[in-house]
Chains A and B, each alone.
Chain A
Amino acid sequence: MMRELYQEMILDHNKNPRNRRTIENTHHHAEGLNPLCGDQVEVYLTIEDDIIQDISFVGHGCAISTASASLMTEALKGKPITEAKAIFEEFHNMLMDAGHVEFSDDLEALEVLGGVKAYPMRVKCASLAWHTFSAALEGKEVASTE
Chain B
Amino acid sequence: MPPYQTGGGMIRSVTFEKTTYADLPDKFEPGTPNIADAIALKVALDFLDEIGIRQAAEHESRLTQLAMKRLSEIEGVNLHGTTADKAGIVSFTMTCAHPHDIGQILDSEGVAIRAGHHCCQPLMKRLGVPATARASFALYNTEEEVEALVRGVLRVKEVFA
Residue pair B108, A125 in contact (C-beta under 8 Å): no
Residue pair A125, B160 in contact (C-beta under 8 Å): no
Known: A11-B160, A38-B124. A2 touches B131 (CB 8 A): no
CB B4 to nearest CB in A, in angstroms, measures 29
Contact of B108 among A1, A62, A64, A66 (CB under 8 A): A1
Identify the stretch in B25-33, B60-68, B99-107 within 8 Å (CB) of chain A at 4 or more residues: B99-107
- For the residues of A in contact with B, the DSSP-based class is mixed
Residue pair B104, A37 in contact (C-beta under 8 Å): no
Interface size class of B (residues with CB under 8 A): 10 to 19
Question: Is residue B59 contacting chain A, with contact meaning CB distance below 8 A?
Answer: no
Residues of A within 8 A of B (CB): 1-2, 5-6, 11, 14, 36-40, 60-64, 66, 119, 122, 125
- For the residues of B in contact with A, the DSSP-based class is helix
Question: Is residue B9 contacting chain A, with contact meaning CB distance below 8 A?
Answer: no
Question: Is residue B98 contacting chain A, with contact meaning CB distance below 8 A?
Answer: yes
Question: Is residue B154 contacting chain A, with contact meaning CB distance below 8 A?
Answer: no
CB A8 to nearest CB in B, in angstroms, measures 10
CB A51 to nearest CB in B, in angstroms, measures 33
Known: A2-B159, A60-B130. A119 touches B124 (CB 8 A): no
Contacts of A6 in B (CB 8 A): 101, 104-105, 159
Question: Is residue B20 contacting chain A, with contact meaning CB distance below 8 A?
Answer: no
